[in-house]
Amino acid sequence: MLFRESETVELKEIVTDDIKKEIIAFANCNGGKLYVGVQDDGTIIGVEDADSISLQISNMIRDTIKPDITMFVHYETIEEKGKEIIAIDVQRGTDRPYYLAKKGMRPEGVFVRQGYSSVPATDTAIRYMIKETDGDRFEAIRSLNQDLTFEAAKKEFDIRNLEFGPKQMQTLKLTDQDGLYTNLALLLSDQCVHTIKVAIFQGTDQMVFKDRREFGGSLLRQMNEVYDYVDIHNQTRATIQKLLRIDVRDYPEVAIREALLNTLVHRDYSFSSSSLISIYTDRIEFVSIGGLMPGIELEDIMLGLSVCRNQDLANVFYRLHLIEAYGTGMGKIMKAYEGEEEKPKIETTKNAFKIILPNINTKNETRNDKETNVDAIIGSATVGENVLDEEALILDYARSHEFITRNDVIELLKVSTSTASRILQRLVRSGLLKQYGKARSTRYRMIKS
């Protein structure tokens, strides 16, 4: 028999670590044969104790190559010119890419056959093999990064008294049948590469930034941190109706929550771009990558039809009691604005989905940052400049009750005595209030127009 190296034949004089690389390359490509006991030029030198060497190679393959490749490797001892050589037949595997366990699914751990040599695979080739094996659904594909930790996820499960161990991870499809992490695991891991960018703008356009943040790590960590950050900028505005003070936040908390969860659960993670949240004075916009699923129209979404792009991720959020089993999110958002003149809007393109939440308070207030024009609130004051919300509340109270005292201000604004006195004196100096009496009998009345 003539031995010559080719794209499907590799010759080895003795057993070395390189054998693992050759077997991986054959399994990742079109299969091949590796002969041990034959020099590169085809000279047969044979091996001693072929059975022992075959066992050594078998153990090496089983312990160092992932996923399990043993069922695609067959051994045979053949005799040529009175000498024993080992023929290792490697078939193309069904769980590609195969890789060195210590190196992972990176070019330094994945090999392919190129001509007569086995060389590191490119990132593109690795992704192609994964997609070909696992299908097109991103969350079910094996993660390129297998060095994952889950501190944030475990914390979220612990809060709800839910187990989060190897058994639960497999049930939730964070690991596959070979115990390898999927992309779903990557999304929930502390090493998640996808982020959410939040920007605060001055005014109603993007001309002036007030603040910006980028949130990374586990999607569960991003969920909590982004909500807290947006909540800080969700201002509370107060109005007085007779003796009743009514506090209204710029955006209903349930609407923000559902819009954020929609951004996390429904985005297309096969793209690397960040999700975007933009906060303007009159609205918040949530933009996620990935348009509507094929066959679904915007009208279907508004009717409550839910076709989830990331079914396994949605299931995890469902187990954590963050979302419901059916598509109720948009319904909750619209209900939160029930009775409001301006309603949330949804805009879609082929590759993006945007939810726009209007600021409830802007229809009643013209404001710049935290300033509010008193004329818009009390209607009867003569005001030459904008005043703060707290001052507007005092003026409104004074108009409704004919006068206001320092104790009234303390109770109305929940502030200290010194703060109440300072605000009242500021209104007196501004010509909006007039002081009557002294000491404990001091009262303040609005100056009529």
Domain holding 421: CATH number?
1.10.10.10
Residues 236 and 88 in one domain: no
- Whole-number pLDDT of residue 273: 87
Q: Which of 42-46, 240-244, 422-426 has the lowest mean pLDDT?
A: 240-244
> Cα(103)–Cα(439) distance, rounded to whole angstroms?
80
pLDDT in tens, 135-154: 778 898 999 899 999 999 99
Do 376 and 440 fall within a single domain? yes
CATH at 117: 3.30.950.30
Residue 252, preceding peptide bond in cis (omega within 30° of 0): no
| 330 plus 377 within the same structural domain | no
d(CA 60, CA 63): 5
pLDDT at 219: 97
pLDDT for 271 beyond 90: no
Could you read off the pLDDT of 318-357 as tens digits, one per residue? 999 998 766 678 889 999 999 888 999 999 888 899 999 9
CA angle 293, 298, 300 (to 5 degrees): 85
Pairwise CA distance, residues 364 & 362, whole Å: 5
Q: Which residues of 348-374 are buried (b: 16+ CB within 10 A; e: fewer)?
A: eeeebbbbbbbbbbbeebebeeebbeb
CATH of the domain at 281: 3.30.565.60
Whole-number Å distance between alpha carbons of 237 and 248:
5
Number of helices (H), then strands (E), in the chain: 15, 21
What tokens were used for 213? 């943040």
Cis peptide before 67 (omega within 30 of 0): yes
The residue among 318, 339, 363 that closes a domain is: 363
Q: Are residues 327 and 284 in the same domain?
A: yes
Global pTM value: 0.63
> Rounded to whole angstroms, how far apart are CA atoms 328 and 164?
27
Q: Tell me whether residue 204 is in a domain.
A: yes
Residue 243: pLDDT band with limits 50, 70, 90: low
Q: Which residue has the higher pLDDT, 7 or 305?
A: 7
Task: Name the band, by pLDDT with cuts 50, 70 and 90, for residue 382.
Answer: very low
Q: Is residue 181 part of a domain?
A: no
Q: Is residue 208 part of a domain?
A: yes
Residues 317 and 212 in one domain: yes
Q: Is residue 395 part of a domain?
A: yes
Pick left, alpha or beta for residue 295 (phi over 0 → left; psi -120 to 50 → alpha; otherwise beta).
left
CA 9, 51, 61 angle in degrees (round to 5)? 55
pLDDT band at 161 (very low <50, low <70, confident <90, very high): very high
Are the CB atoms for 428 and 434 separated by under 8 Å?
A: yes
The total of structural domains in the chain comes to 3
Same domain? For 232 and 323 the reply is yes
Domain presence at residue 384: yes
- Name the residue range of residue 205's domain: 196-363
The answer to whether 33 and 87 have CB atoms below 8 angstroms apart is: yes
Domain finish residue from 345, 363, 381: 363
